[in-house]
Structure 1
Amino acid sequence: MTERLSASQLEDFVRNRMKMSHIYQPVMLKVLLDAGGEVSVEDVSRALLVHDLSQVEYYAIRTKNMVGKVLHQNGIVEPMKRGNRIIGYRLNSEGLSELQRKALSALCDQKVAQFLKQRGAVLYDHRRPSDGYVPGSIRYTVLKRAKYRCELCGAHEDQAALHIDHIIPRAKGGPDDLSNFQALCITCNTNKRDNDDTDFRDVLNSYEERDESCLFCKIEADRIVGQNQLAYAIRDAYPVTELHTLVLPKRHVANYFDLYQPERNAIEDLLQRQRKEICTLDRSVSGFNIGANAGASAGQTVFHVHLHLIPRRGGDVQNPRGGVRGVITDKQSY
């Protein structure tokens, strides 16, 4: 049997040894302490729910857009506003006695009970983990990549609950690949679902686009030094420095600015992986130039997007100051 802990041991754990990635541990301990030391899983779940900002925001949006809107349209409530923002609701009634309030409240309880009896366990299926569920490890990677901010509006997780969104929805054939995930706050994610009318069938089909006349659409397999679902990396055939690497989308697309967000994610993934590999292969590498030529006037000669990852070493040129500014020779130094 596990040794029973004293109050001082529990205090030491909470003060000094509790390692937290979220508020879950202290919340659960508080529930146990307040209940005398024994609780059900449901009791802990309810306590955690109180602190779950994503759930509060989820139902705040539905209060304003659904239930509050319907009751207002029926003349039952009036919205309370601060500027253009709804901050609450006022019952459109006056003169109710305490007895009348209690009777109407009990009637509402009856309506809830009747509805639950009719609908049963399926009532909240839309809030259960489903085919769209994202494992914790993927969630962590996506949020870390996004620096814990919404990738649409920029809100930090301290300001709004962040969701992991399939850029191309799974229902439209979107894969469970890191390149197809983005971090969105609950508001942006909700708005995206409601308003995004992109024909994702065309997007998915376009990933298979290749041009037989394009050098980068028919790269030999033995030249590929890294790849993921949407992009691959090769060493440059005419390297500026040793281990000069190109990272390209598999789709035939000419201009960097026409890349889809999943392709940008895939390219960034390979840039990071190739940087680590190059630094492992050559310890003398101490910096990189990263860039793409977009358009003939910018020097692009092969019209299939490719990013240059150029390793740099101390002393490889007399004066490296200015770096990529050197594309306009007399502007490099400043």
Structure 2
Amino acid sequence: MTYSQLLQFISKDMTMAHIYQPVMLMELLKNEGKASVEEIAQAILNRDPSQIEYYTQIVKRMVGDVLTNKRKITTKDKGFYSLAGVESLTHGEIDELISLCEQKIIDYEKKRDGAQWSHRRRGRRAVSGSIRYEVLKRASGRCELCGISNEFKNIEVDHITPKSLGGKDDISNYQALCYTCNAQKNNKDDTDFRKLNAMYEDRLHGCLFCDVQTIDRTRIVEENELAFVIRDGFPVTEHHSLFIPKRHVLDYFGLSQPELNAIHQLLHSQKELLLKLDPNIDGFNIGMNCGETAGQSVWHCHVHLIPRRKGDVEYPKGGVRHVIPYKGNYEDLK
């Protein structure tokens, strides 16, 4: 590449979704045009404030707490830690203590064989760009815990149930978290995920929707790991569909976040499919009946997707308000 070509690319043609391209070029330019993957990664890491935030939390909540409050080796004053008595040590003693710390690290790394960083690697392959896009789109570019926008903090794709505890590489088990919430998640969450995973296997013999999964699978038109779709046996309109968690759970309010994600994914997928099957579909009603008073008759959660077409009722305004007679036309109630 000539100077003019590089100048044109960097100043005019480079499109950026992140800082990675200019950082990589800078590293190559500084090292006579050649740099290892690790060197480029280190250059990116040096510009990533989220890593400083992550280890700031480690210092405050873990190592700083242990050395200061439990072991009484250090003291803390505002944002600074101090090692008591260090002023009385000779240079030789300091060098010896540093060497001893280095040896402790070497021995520990040898014992763990790299496993000490497994919480950062998370023992899984990177989430693909297309899946990451879908997760962030579903979250509208915001952390699903604290709500901060990706304009202010980098948003990461996190396993709701960790891989180390049996969590699946499935979009229903992904959530969007800012790097701060992701870093702090394990410190705040004491859920026994082993029991939670077993919960998803719950089935009730004789339940209509539990039995569909084994006895009448031909009714299933789409499924993912935690939910499936069937066409309603008594459709309100053509292609009226039911979205059902595989776990036996009473109603919508008993669903876990991964199950909500799974149903949400299928709703979007089926919406696109039905629009292609029938161009006359002009709208949808989505709803669920929770409790006998609300009309529930099958005691296994299911979400209705009812395609709507112009003219299918005389007066559609009010939509789901029509579940109570004469309450749909709310303008007449004023």
Listed as ranges, the matches of 1:276-291 within 5 Å are 276-291=272-287
1:294 aligns with 2:295: no
- 2:80 counterpart of 1:89: yes
Kept in 2, the 8 Å contact 1:78–1:92? The answer is no
Shifted more, 224-233 versus 131-140: the winner is 131-140
Alpha-carbon distance between aligned partners in 2 of 1:128 and 1:212, rounded to the nearest angstrom:
42
State the distance in 2 between where 1:246 and 1:102 align.
74
Tell me how many residue pairs correspond in the alignment: 321
Aligned match of 1:215: 208
User: Which runs of at least 4 in structure 1 moved beyond 6 Å after TM superposition?
Assistant: 92-97, 100-105
Equivalent residue letter for 2:7: E
More divergent stretch after superposition (247-256 vs 323-332) = 323-332
Deviation at 1:150, TM superposition (A): 2.1
Corresponding residue number in structure 2 for 1:265: 261
With structure 1 as the length reference, what TM-score do the two structures score? 0.83
Q: Shift in Å at residue 148 of structure 1?
A: 2.8
* Distance change in 2, residues 1:94/1:40 (3 Å): same
2:164 to 139, 158, 171: 171
Alignment of 1:136 with 2:128, yes or no, is yes
8 A Cα contact 1:134 1:164, kept in partner: no
Unaligned runs of 5+ in 1: 81-87
Equivalent residue number for residue 241 of structure 2:
245
Tell me the residue number matched to 2:40: 44
Question: For the residues of structure 2 that align with 1:284 and 1:31, how far apart are their CA atoms?
Answer: 56
* Coordinate RMSD, CA, aligned: 3.0
Aligned AA (1:198): T
Instruction: Establish whether residue 151 from structure 1 lines up as the match of residue 161 from structure 2.
Output: no
Residue 180 of structure 1 corresponds to 173
The 1:201–1:71 alpha-carbon spacing in structure 2 relative to 1, beyond 3 Å, is closer
Percent identity of equivalent pairs: 46
Letter in 1 for 2:2: S
**Whole-Å separation in 2 of the counterparts to 1:95 and 1:176:** 49
CA contact (8 A) 2:27 2:40 kept: yes
CA distance in 2 between counterparts of 1:331 and 1:163 reads: 44
| Structure 2 residue aligned with 1:84 | none
| Matched position secondary structure for 1:331 | coil
Label 1:129 to 1:35 Cα distance change in 2 as closer, same or farther (>3 A). same
Paired amino acid for 2:233: A
CA offsets per residue over residues 131-170 of structure 1, 9 Å max, x none? 2444333434323322232222222334444343322233
- Residue identity matched to 1:199: D
CA contact (8 A) 2:243 2:304 kept: yes
Write out per-residue CA displacement over residues 216-240 of structure 1, whole angstroms, 9 at most, x where no aligned residue.
2222222211111211111112211
Other-structure match for 2:311? 315
The alpha carbon displacement at 1:107 in A equals: 6.1
Cα distance in 1 for partners of 2:90, 2:305 equals: 70
Bigger shift: 251-260 or 41-50?
41-50
1:229 aligned partner, one-letter code: E
Q: CA deviation at 1:258?
A: 0.4
1:80-120 deviations in Å (ceiling 9; x for gaps): 1xxxxxxx2154779979xx998888667535543444345
- Cross-structure match for 1:193: 186
Q: Secondary structure at 1:20's aligned position in 2? A: coil
For 2:210, give the aligned amino acid: C
Quick check: 306-315 or 322-331, which moved more?
322-331
Q: Distance in 2 between matches of 1:159 and 1:261?
A: 25
Contact kept, 8 Å, 2:123 with 2:164, in 1: the verdict is: no
Distance 1:39 1:313, change over 3 A: same
Q: Cα–Cα, structure 1 residues 161 and 297, in superposed 2: closer, same or farther, change >3 Å?
A: same
Q: Does 1:79 align with 2:77?
A: yes
| CA spacing shift, 1:279–1:133, aligned 2, 3 Å | same
Q: Is 1:233–1:248's contact at 8 Å kept on the other side of the alignment?
A: yes
